[in-house]
Structure 1
Amino acid sequence: MLHTIETVNSAVNNFIWGVPAMICIIGVGLYLSIRTRFLQIRKFPYAIKTTIGRIFRKRDASDGAITPFQAVCTALAATVGTGNIAGVAGAIAIGGPGAVFWMWISAILGMCTKFTEVTLAVHFRETNENGELVGGPMYYIKNGLGKNWQWLAVLFSAFGVLTVFGTGNATQVNTITTAIDSALLNYHIISQDMISQANLIQGIILTLLVGMVLLGGVKRIGKVTEKLVPFMALFYILLALGVIFLNIENVPAVFASIFEGAFNPRSVTGGIVGSAFMTLKKGVSRGIFSNEAGLGTGSIAHACADTQKPVKQGFFGVFEVFTDTIVICTLTALVILCSGVPIAYGEAAGAELTILGFTSTYGNWVSIFTAVSMCCFAFSTIIGWGLYGARCIEFIFSAKVIKPFMIVYSLVAMIGATMDLGLVWNIADTFNGLMAIPNLIALFLLSGTVFKLVNEYKEFD
């Protein structure tokens, strides 16, 4: 029975994250970019001014809302996760250095896709019975496309609820316990036979922490993420820049391998990765998986922002993809490639390859700091996806189910800390991909609304 489930899931997963899905995601991103005359590039300085310019501007949000900066931090909390560490390593190992180039291409198009998602989410959002602003793909499908498309909104929400327990919670907790166990073993604080007890204790602590944050509502989520996300991103960026600086003589050759490997991977990997299409596929799929442009999930957080300007909030979506993929994923790739660690091309790899890049440069002492980074990345993802799951299940039922959902979601952390999650991860990955289908249909059908809102926006400098 278990083997059958694995076989069916593998077939569906390969299709969802295969060529058709990538063509659809890239196709919609390219269509939106052309129709907006590559807004994400033309108005990029404005996007940076609008987003980073607000970081130091203190303001309070109205009841039931969070500040625009808290909204982008909540969205970044969900997107900047272990995929930025493990996903990039996997893409390079299977697709070669050239995968990084295609990751950049997917991010450039993804900036416009995420801009569209956020703009629509703010434009078509509602206020729920608790007085909170709610929005996202299910709401712009419902309010933008009408009653005949209600089934598509329910489909997105159902896939969202099924996804959050695996992708957003259990697998992230498993990453946290793995990182902490590795550091504790490295410093001989615990022995191998103590790991199961240590994991149980970690699971209990994480359950309490997740519950405390999520049960505090959208305002507490916003306050936690606006402090955690800048800290964890800056901390990781500084560690990565240190590796690059200490191996600065390798940088020109690394960039040469990225550009050459994008079109001729065989010459860079010694023939092990011989297919340029495999390089493209790995780069694009990992980029999409990392920044979630096309999945629509990030727009759920942005819909909570205390703003009356959908287009202005949309530029936070541009900033989000830029930060996640162009900055953090690129730094991870450079840590691996500049450090000169051996890469077994053609074989699966994960976070251990990225960690090896750090430890080979700094020494084993840095493992404690990489563990802290991974814990912050994973915990922030749990919080962000908790909000997404709550909004999805609320759409299907009502706001009354939010607190019971949050309690169950928090308890899943115990499972993630103490069980083997191979199949859970794979199934959640499939549902994650399935979420993109209703969202991409809605983006294409509602693109005219976005173009109209952009043309009416008068605040561009």
Structure 2
Amino acid sequence: MHNLNDFLTLIEGFLGGSKWFPILLIGTGLFYTIYLKFPQFRFFKHALKVVTGKYDKPGEKGDASHFQALTTALSGTVGTGNIAGVALAIYLGGPAALFWMLVTAFLGMTTKFVEVTLSHKYRETDEKGFISGGPMYYMKNKLNMRWLAGIFAVMTIFSSFGTGSLPQINSISNSMFTTFGFNKMLVGGILTVLLAFVILGGIKRIAKVTERLVPTMAIIYFVGALAVIFYNYENIIPSFVSIFTNVFTGTAAVGGFLGAGFSYALTKGVNRGLFSNEAGQGSAPIAHAAARTEEPVSEGMVAILEPFIDTIVICTLTGLVILSSGVWTEKLPNQFQPTDMVVMANQYDDTNEEDREKLYHYLGGTSDLPVFTGDLIVVNGEIKNELSIINARSVAENIKIYDSQDKLYNGKVAISNGKYSSNNGVTFKGNSLVHSAPLTAEAFTRSLLGDWGKWIVSIGLLLFAFSTAIAWAYYGGRSVTYLFGVKGVLPYRIIYCIGFFIASFADTTIIWTISGITIVLMALPNLIGILMLHKDMKSTLNTYWDKFKKEHPSEV
């Protein structure tokens, strides 16, 4: 498990954790924002009118309304990224990471406008009469680059697991276990059956489910988040300030948080921003292609609203909940995951400036510190060796070791290069920083809601993440259709459900690392493709406005 995680982390470091990918993603959005003269401002009001169906015409080709296409796409984006992803970004990069998430969203409004317009323009109808669209179709039909379209389709299938299946159910099961003590495998089994029932019904059943789920879960989460923020009203302004003050300098150590540099905040913020709103990844165009309209630009207008709702509104709320509550710097009781934990050879005190500096560089990968190899001597659950354990990027405290019966352990625990195998039947528990869904859940308790706050996160996450898994099954199915025809969809959906179940009890750190890899591999061909079609995009937009002015002169 450790070797697998180390290998995946190495790959992710060259992709999502690199400096070149944020530059490409942000650069593409910035180029189109300037090239199309800030469409996220100019067309926002028009987009609201389009999504309400004001300009719909009877008899237009498509499988879903503008609103259904928007909610289906939102169900694919509003999910774990908004609850667990924001928490992970702040945990890794500090408040400045939220700033880069917002930058990614602002520029992503333009990127999504472009990718949806182009994908809708070059959509096709499959052999069963359903609409098939997405970046692979503009790559094939306009760029004449079938090889690039094939790569994108394959990467979409992988990303349907890395974005839509694995992290969603993993976050749900972790949240349900933390809040209610529900068995992770049981949660995974029940939701897998429900998932199979929905996705086997195709896009029309998916659209009907998502148009009800998305607004409901958004309202519940919105009210709960405001309750926490206003309860901690004295921290609202300092929280806002912290997002912007350390953007280019990084975040200093505070509490159990050992600090994060500019580069770390940038890469983690951009990566989590992309995971949240998927602008540039090429996924949402697959859902929007099914919209009933003959005007590709009108559906692109609808897509402008997605990053705004998903990241600028919902992710900002989550970020303010975490920052205003202060839990992101607190060491909380939790059960350590093997991949989050390192047994150091020496003792470290995070209240000591020199030790904190050493650990900061160690966690940032810029220096090495000796790790422990040998046996831990454990008596009544307490480690007798003089050493420190780093868990979740913090110095762990009040550590206890338990056996397979959840009783205090007595004996030895073998450690190799700072790591232990979860197969030896013991678990480590103690106080450390936490991340992902458990961090957000804890933040929601810091209000008049108390422990009821965890219920909002758990139920909200259940609805958010489950709807995301539904939408991504559709995205993956469309890619399978492109590559293998309709006959390949059923086997794909079966494998998708199996992966969904297994991830419910898999290691969280590995799941998120896989996610980071697949997101980048899917986004790369899409970003390259839309940059190559910049002239096509501009002429399509100009044609749309010329036609719109003739049909609706009073609106101009």
Q: Do Structure 1 and Structure 2 share a fold, with TM-score over 0.5? A: yes
Which residue is equivalent to 1:175? Answer: 171
**What is the deviation of 1:43?**
2.1
Number of the residue aligned with 1:357: 443
Q: Structure 1's 367 and 6: CA in aligned 2 closer, same or farther, altered over 3 A?
A: closer
Q: In structure 2, what is the Cα distance between the partners aligned to 1:360 and 1:122?
A: 45
The match for 1:296 is 282
List per-residue Cα deviations over 1:97-129 (Å, max 9, x = no partner): 222222221111111000001101110000000
Describe how 1:202-217 pairs up with structure 2 within 5 A: 202-217=187-202
1:282-313 Cα offsets, whole Å, 9 max, x none, are 32222122111111011110001111111111
Using a 3 Å threshold, how does the CA distance of structure 1 residues 213 and 245 change in structure 2: closer, same or farther?
Answer: same
Residue correspondences, number: 445
Q: Quick one: distance in 2 between partners of 1:274 and 1:60?
A: 54
Partner letter of residue 436 of structure 2?
Answer: G
Q: Partner letter of residue 42 of structure 1? A: R
Match of 1:413 in 2: 500
User: Which is further off, 404-413 or 30-39?
Assistant: 404-413
Could you tell me which residue of structure 1 aligns to residue 346 of structure 2?
none
Work out whether residues 77 and 229 of structure 1, in 8 Å CA contact, stay in contact via their aligned partners in 2: yes
Letter in 1 for 2:122: F
| Greater fraction strand | 2
State the alpha-carbon separation in 1 of the partners of residues 518 and 319 from structure 2: 27
The 2-side partners of 1:349 and 1:214 are apart by 30
| Equivalence for 2:157 | 161
After TM superposition, give the deviation of residue 428 of structure 1 in Å. Answer: 4.0
Counterparts of 2:224 and 2:508, CA distance in 1: 29
> Aligned match of 2:211 in 213, 217, 226?
226
Q: Measure, in 2, the Cα distance between the counterparts of 1:9 and 1:416.
A: 16
Residue of structure 2 equivalent to 1:450? 537
Compared CA separation, residues 244 and 57, structure 1 to 2 (3 A): farther
Match of 1:304, SS state, is coil
- Give the C-alpha shift of residue 392 in structure 1: 0.9
* 1:439 matched to 2:526: yes
Distance 1:366 1:9 in 2: 34
Matched, 1:132 2:219: no
Determine helix, strand or coil for the equivalent of 2:246.
Answer: helix
Task: Give unmatched runs, 5+ long, in structure 2.
Answer: 332-359, 361-392, 394-433, 549-554
1:34 maps onto 2:34 in alignment = yes
State the Cα distance separating 1:418 from its structure 2 match: 4.0
**Residues 90 and 29 of structure 1, relative CA distance in 2, 3 Å threshold:** same
Structure with a larger share of its residues in helix? 1
Match of 2:349 in 1: none
| CA distance in structure 2 between the partners assigned to 1:168 and 1:342 by the alignment | 26
CA distance in 2, matches of 1:110, 1:393: 26
Cα 1:422–1:253 shift into 2, 3 Å:
closer
User: Is the Cα–Cα contact under 8 Å of residues 15 and 21 in structure 1 kept in the other structure?
Assistant: no
Rounded to whole Å, the distance in 2 between the matches of 1:406 and 1:126 is 22
Give deviations 1:295-347, integer Å, cap 9, x for gaps. Answer: 10111100011111111110121100101110000000110112233515973
**Distance across 1 between alignment mates of 2:292 and 2:536:** 21
Aligned pairs for 1:371-450 within 5 A = 371-420=458-507, 422-450=509-537
58 and 179 in structure 1: CA distance in 2 versus 1, 3 angstrom threshold: farther
**Mapped partners of 1:322, 1:392: distance in 2:** 27
Q: Which residue of 1 aligns with 2:428?
A: none
Distance (whole Å) between structure 2 residues aligned to residue 82 and residue 108 of structure 1:
20
Q: Given that residues 82 and 377 in structure 1 are in contact (C-alpha distance below 8 angstroms), is that contact kept between their aligned partners in structure 2?
A: yes
Pick which of 101-110 and 300-309 moved more.
101-110
TM-score, normalised with respect to structure 1: 0.90
1:163 maps to amino acid: S
How far did 1:60 drift? Answer: 9.6
- Unmatched tracts of structure 1, length 5 or more: 186-194
What is the CA deviation profile of residues 388-439 of structure 1, one whole-angstrom value per residue up to 9, with x for unaligned ones?
A: 1101111111012112322332233332234446435423431221011111
Distance in 2 of aligned mates of 1:355 and 1:58: 41
Q: Within the alignment, does 1:367 sit opposite 2:454 as a pair?
A: yes
Deviations 1:173-230 (A, max 9, x none): 2222222222323xxxxxxxxx5xx434333322221111111111111111111011
1-side partners of 2:112 and 2:485: how far apart? 27
Query: 1:257: Cα distance to partner?
Result: 1.8
- Equivalent of 2:221 in 223, 236, 247: 236
Q: Secondary structure at the match of 1:119?
A: helix
Task: For residue 273 of structure 1, report the CA deviation from its aligned partner.
Answer: 2.9
The residue number in structure 2 matching 1:189 is none
Letter in 2 for 1:150: R
**TM-score, length-scaled by structure 2:** 0.75
In the alignment, is the contact (CA less than 8 A) between 1:336 and 1:354 conserved in 2?
A: yes
Structure with more relative contact order (C-alpha pairs < 8 Å, separation 6 or more): 1
Q: Is the 2:217–2:463 Cα contact (8 Å) retained in structure 1?
A: yes
1:280 aligns with 2:254: no
Matched, 1:320 2:298: no
Give the partner amino acid of 2:213.
L
In the TM superposition, residue 234 of structure 1 has moved relative to its aligned partner by: 1.3
Structure index of larger Rg: 2
Task: Judge conservation of contact 2:61–2:293 (CA < 8 Å) in 1.
Answer: no
Change (3 A) 1:305 1:274: closer
CA distance in 1, matches of 2:58, 2:330: 50
Q: Structure 1 stretch 420-429 or stretch 382-391: which is displaced more?
A: 420-429
**SS at structure 1 position matched to 2:97:** helix
| 1:133 Cα offset (Å) | 0.6
Query: Residue 239 of structure 2 aligns to which amino acid in structure 1?
Result: V
Q: Aligned equivalents of 2:154 and 2:316: distance in 1?
A: 33
Cα contact 1:96–1:269 (8 A) shared by 2: no
CA distance in structure 1 between the partners assigned to 2:438 and 2:94 by the alignment: 17
**Structure 1 residue 4: deviation in Å?**
5.6
- 8 Å CA contact retained: 2:254, 2:329: no
Quote the Cα distance in structure 1 between the aligned partners of 2:58 and 2:188.
Answer: 34
**Are the aligned partners of 1:171 and 1:416 in contact in 2 as well (CA < 8 Å)?**
yes
For the pair 1:87 / 2:173, whether they are aligned, the reply is no
Residues 343 and 421 (structure 1 numbering): CA distance in 2 closer, same or farther, change over 3 Å? closer
Residue 112 of structure 1 corresponds to 110
Q: Supply the distance in 2 between the matched residues of 1:248 and 1:58 (Cα, whole angstroms).
A: 44
Query: Residues of 2 paired with 1:50 and 1:100: CA distance?
Result: 30
In the aligned structure 2, how far is the partner of 1:43 from the partner of 1:57?
A: 15
Opposite residue 354 of structure 1, the aligned amino acid is: T
Give the equivalent residue in structure 1 for 2:46: 46
Alpha-carbon distance between aligned partners in 2 of 1:41 and 1:251, rounded to the nearest angstrom: 27
1:257 has 2:242 as partner = yes
| Paired letter, 2:535 | G
